[in-house]
Amino acid sequence: MQLYNTLSAKEREKLIEEAGKDRLTISFYQYAHIGNPKIFRNHLFIHWNELDVLGRIYVANEGINAQLSVPAENFEAFKKHLDSISFLENVRLNIAIEQDNKSFLKLKVKVRHKIVADGLNDDTFDVTNKGIHVGAEKFNELIEDPETVLVDMRNHYESEIGHFKNAVTPDVDTFRDSLDIIENNLAEHKEDKKLVMYCTGGIRCEKASAYYKHKGFKNVYQLEGGIIEYARQVKDRNLENKFLGKNFVFDHRRGERISEDVISNCHQCGKPCDTHVNCANEACHLLFIQCKECAEAMDDCCSLECKETHALPYEEQKSLRKGKKASNKIFKKGRSEVLKYKK
């Protein structure tokens, strides 16, 4: 019974190129009681591996959080398998606006304590007492209301390249950090203001809305399906798009464009840019924004030190890393003193 990947990312990438077939990038989540996450994890891996599903899936006692890629020709079989699982039947699937056949190159199904690292003690409040879910049209109405406070529940590097007009964008590194900041800033408006929240696909707002209702906020709303579903509804229904820039995504694409606005800048030269990259130095991998000119001049690295290291023979780079704690900063804080124009 195969419960692990047998191909490297490079081998998988080559197979995808040779196949020349379209893949769909999809995300979904569902809170549900899973008695034995390990058995459920193995069940998913066995079935999805047969369908050539690739992605990053977290399973916990509280549910599932999945970001994945599936061959378009296998989508119906994949959906049929989802529907065969009672709590995943007809679950909403967020399908990416911009498709990339190489968005994921391995199938990773991991058992975690929680499907989102929220740092909350769920025993202290009712996680099922959530805010009101609204679609794109109602959301657009709400955020034009002067009695609304619109809050971005994502991290700083996500909102830096794209956010809704007039949104509060906390300068935080983690979801948990934003909860207290928002509560403190809006402490005087728990009863008279409408608290409207959004995130990438909706999962962070599920827990946040219940948390804020527990904290005394009377009018709590959340964007159904997050930015991904909002963009789909705006396009399908010809609604006004109130999102500026790109939506950061947690796969190899790193972002999908929602509007033509470029609201961020290259962290090395300061020119308008919203392309996230990872430092090419294997010992760094810092996530930052880099324009094409700086990428060429810096050899895809974040600093001169990393550029010098990256230029060394591969075996010498490996020897320098040997015995040192891995410093993999992919999709993490993206902050560094070497980034001169990081806001």
Where do the domains of the chain lie, and which CATH numbers do they carry?
Answer: 9-111 (3.30.70.100)
Query: Which segments of the chain have a pLDDT < 70?
Result: 1-2, 324-333
Q: Which two tokens stand for residue 239?
A: 């609604």
What pLDDT sits at residue 330? 47
Digit-coded pLDDT (tens) for 237-296: 999 999 999 999 989 899 999 999 999 999 999 999 999 999 999 888 899 999 999 999
Which run of H or E residues covers position 152?
Answer: strand 148-152
Phi-psi region of 207 (alpha: psi -120 to 50; beta: other; left: phi over 0): alpha
Q: Which two tokens stand for residue 156?
A: 């700083």
Which run of H or E residues covers position 293?
Answer: helix 292-297
What pLDDT sits at residue 124? 84
pTM metric for this prediction: 0.88
Q: Which two tokens stand for residue 318?
A: 């490996």
66 neighbors 93 (Cβ within 8 angstroms): no
What pLDDT sits at residue 337? 86
Instruction: Examine the residue annotation and report whether 205 is marked as an active-site residue of this protein.
Output: no
Q: How many CB atoms lie within 10 A of CB 288?
A: 25
Q: Which two tokens stand for residue 82?
A: 């989802």
**Cβ burial, residue 320 (10 Å; 0-12/13-18/19+):** middle
What pLDDT sits at residue 331? 44
Q: Of the residues 199, 205, 266, 302, which is catalytic?
A: 199
Instruction: Write down how long the chain is.
Output: 343
Residue owning tokens 């994502």: 154
CA distance 305 to 248: 28
